[in-house]
Amino acid sequence: MNKELIGLDRVGMTYEAASGPVEALAGISLSVGAGEFVSLVGPSGCGKSTLLRIVAGLRPATVGTVTVAGRAVREPIPDIGMVFQAPILLKWRSILQNVLLPAELAGKDATALQGRAQQLLDMAGLTGFGDKLPRELSGGMQQRAALCRALLLDPPLLLMDEPFGALDAMTRDDMALELLRIWGERDLAQSARKTVLFVTHSIGEAVFLSDRVVVMSPRPGRIAADLRIDLPRPRTVELRASEAFGRLSLDIFRALTGRVGAAGTA
Amino acid sequence: MCPNVRLRMMKFQSLLRQYWPTVALFAFLLASWQVAVSAGGIREYLLPSPLAVWNALWHGDTAWAQHLWVTTLEIVGAFFLAAGVGVALGVAIAWSPLIANALVPFLVFVNTLPKVAIAPLFLIWMGYGIFPNMLMGALIGFFPVVINTAVGLSQVEADMLDLGRVFNAPKWKIFVKIRIPNALPYILSALKITATAAVVGAIVGEFVASQRGLGYVIVTTQSSMNTSVAFAALIWISVVGLVLYGAVVLLARLWAPWAEGID
Ligand SMILES: Nc1ncnc2c1ncn2[C@@H]1O[C@H](COP(=O)(O)OP(=O)(O)OP(=O)(O)O)[C@@H](O)[C@H]1O
Ligand SMILES: [Mg+2]
């Protein structure tokens, strides 16, 4: 593995909710190398979003230590792209202005990035929607706009929470390929690629995209399995039909359900 | 036919379809009022006929332009005063919990005072003039602006604020780019209330102390029994009020089109 970029050591998270404490994560130890594409899969409510927020520095973990690029995370860390589970577009801004928001918030010249923003929108299949308001777009289109926003400043670290969750299967596969292209699968050495932490509910998507798939147990989320996906890159659509792809998917399915050898009957 | 013109005609027709009952009812009421007064022998100082009011509007010896000008000035001044002070206080409250703790109980107290009862004090303190009446309008109209500004600035989705934090935006920038636009529809909807309150305040102020203005005109008719002039003054007041209200509605549509249909 490359030099470690994200390090979690026995991280736990307990929310203090009105109805009492909710333990969302327990004993998470995980190391993600620079340039690695790691997917998180796990049942709903197991703490995947929570984990991303902790890594981003949006919420402090209640126990354990989190480091990014060797530094302890205590507040929001700089230079990340984050795709939240909901699109969270500002409803008073046009789509293009929403994509440009990170530049404005970070005090960078937004007009200089208009061309790039437009390119990203084209890439996401949103050509011609730049001057529409968010409410004029479908849920899936909003999600793609949010993806463009996360990519605008070309961040070296991407935290993505089900970014393709609201998309139809076809668009979803296209976007997965685009993401790999942006990640630098074809033209960059691994150390030069972005580091991606990617939450998904789709086993196939996780296998197709990732170098590693981390499977989490039901709440409180623990790491149930950590599988290396040693399929050749660049990944192609045909790969999905291969025997190795099926085997890895099955492994993940078993780790997810905690069942051994019962996959066929599920 | 050019499609644009056709579209406009269709729009006009649908407006007509929607509002003809209003227009018809209004015309019916006016007509029966006129008939009741002229045929029923109601004395004019009790209830003037619509025609008498019309005459008072255009042919009487009231210097309407002057009174209208004074009252309009008071109302518009009151509106901007209330809007400016209200937004400023709302921003201060949302910005700092310390300021909020200091101000809010005080403002709530001021708001519970019957403002009309303060009007005679204004006369003692400031004498006759446009400004005290402006102030009365502002006093009645500013509170909803404070509250809505503060609420609009604070009730931002937690996720939106996280979005700002992810991009390491400083507090003032989150304020300008996220909180203020979020508050805009709230503020505009409070300004609709303020537009109405400014009218009430200005007229009440004139009732208590004035030598000019539409409220003053109404007061003088009490002794002259010139009721048709009072009715004419009422019409002018409602015209000013409606124009101001309409301007705010238009502004809301222009400035916060994403919030259409929220109020
Ligand atoms: N702000 C909060 N306050 C209290 N409890 C919370 C909060 N956020 C999340 N939780 C709880 O923590 C647990 C994990 O939530 P989280 O959103 O991380 O799950 P998730 O794995 O992302 O689920 P999903 O796949 O449905 O998105 C849940 O049980 C949830 O109820
Ligand atoms: Mg989640």
> Are B258 and A135 an interchain contact pair (Cβ–Cβ within 8 Å)?
yes
> Are B184 and A92 an interchain contact pair (Cβ–Cβ within 8 Å)?
yes
Is pLDDT of A209 > 50? yes
- What is the C-alpha to C-alpha distance for residues A187 and A227, in angstroms, rounded to an integer? 25
| Distance between A106 CA and the closest CA of chain B, angstroms | 6
* Distance set, CA A135 to CA A138, A172, B234 (Å): 8, 21, 43
Element (H, E) at A13: strand A4-17
Counted across chains A and B, CB pairs separated by less than 8 A come out at 52
- Contacts of residue B240, defined as CB under 8 A and 6 or more positions apart, other chains included, come to B68, B71, B72, B75, B199, B214
* A200 CA → ligand 2 middle, Å: 9
Q: Indicate the residue of A91, A102, A135 with minimum beta-carbon distance to B167.
A: A102
* A12 CA → ligand 1 middle, Å: 13
Is pLDDT of A10 > 50? yes
Predicted pLDDT of residue B258 = 84
Q: What is the pTM of this model?
A: 0.84
- Residue to probe by mutation, ligand 1, list A39, A41, A44, A49, most atoms within 8 Å of CB: A49
> Are B164 and A105 an interchain contact pair (Cβ–Cβ within 8 Å)?
yes
Q: Are A121 and A129 in contact (CB under 8 A)?
A: yes
Q: Are A237 and A169 in contact (CB under 8 A)?
A: no
pLDDT digits (tens, 9 = 90+) for B199-231: 999 999 999 888 899 999 999 998 888 899 999
Element (H, E) at B5: helix B3-40
pLDDT confidence bin for B47, thresholds 50/70/90: confident
> Are B165 and A88 an interchain contact pair (Cβ–Cβ within 8 Å)?
no
pLDDT digits (tens, 9 = 90+) for A85-128: 999 999 999 999 999 999 999 888 999 999 999 999 999 999 99
Neighbouring-strand partners of residue A215: A41, A225
- Contacts of residue B126, defined as CB under 8 A and 6 or more positions apart, other chains included, come to B132, B135
Over residues B157-173, the mean pLDDT reads 92
Q: Which candidate in A84, A92, A93, A100 is best for mutational testing of the B interface (most B CBs within 10 A)?
A: A92
- What is the C-alpha to C-alpha distance for residues B34 and B158, in angstroms, rounded to an integer? 60
Judge if the beta carbon of residue A202 lies within 6 A of ligand 1: no
- Contacts of residue B133, defined as CB under 8 A and 6 or more positions apart, other chains included, come to B74, B78, B201, B202, B205, B206, B209, B210, B213, B215
* B5 CA → ligand 2 middle, Å: 51
Q: Indicate the residue of B166, B177, B178 with minimum beta-carbon distance to A56.
A: B166
Produce one character per residue of A137-168: b if its CB has 16 or more CB atoms within 10 Å, e if not. Answer: beebbbbbbbbbbbbbbebbbbbbbbbbbbbe
Residue nearest to atom 5 of ligand 1 (CA): A15
pLDDT digits (tens, 9 = 90+) for A217-263: 998 899 999 999 999 999 998 999 999 999 999 999 999 988 654 44
Q: Which candidate in B167, B168, B171, B172 is best for mutational testing of the A interface (most A CBs within 10 A)?
A: B167
Residue scoring higher pLDDT (A266 or B81) = B81
> Are A88 and B159 an interchain contact pair (Cβ–Cβ within 8 Å)?
yes
The DSSP line for A172-231 is HHHHHHHHHHHHTTTTS-GGGSPEEEEE-S-HHHHHHH-SEEEEEPSSSB-EEEEEE---
What does the longest C-alpha to C-alpha distance in chain B come to? 77
Nearest one of B69, B107, B73, B75 to B88, comparing CA atoms: B107
Residue nearest to atom 31 of ligand 1 (CA): A45
Residues of B in contact with A105 (CB under 8 A): 164, 167-169, 173-174, 177
State the ipTM, two decimals: 0.86
Closest ligand 1 atom to the C-alpha of A162?
27
pLDDT confidence bin for B2, thresholds 50/70/90: low
Name the one residue in this structure whose structure tokens are 């000008």: B69
Token code pair at residue B180: 């203020």
Token code pair at residue B167: 């991009």
Judge if the beta carbon of residue A190 lies within 6 A of ligand 1: no
Residue B61's Cβ-count burial label (10 Å; 0-12, 13-18, 19+) is: exposed
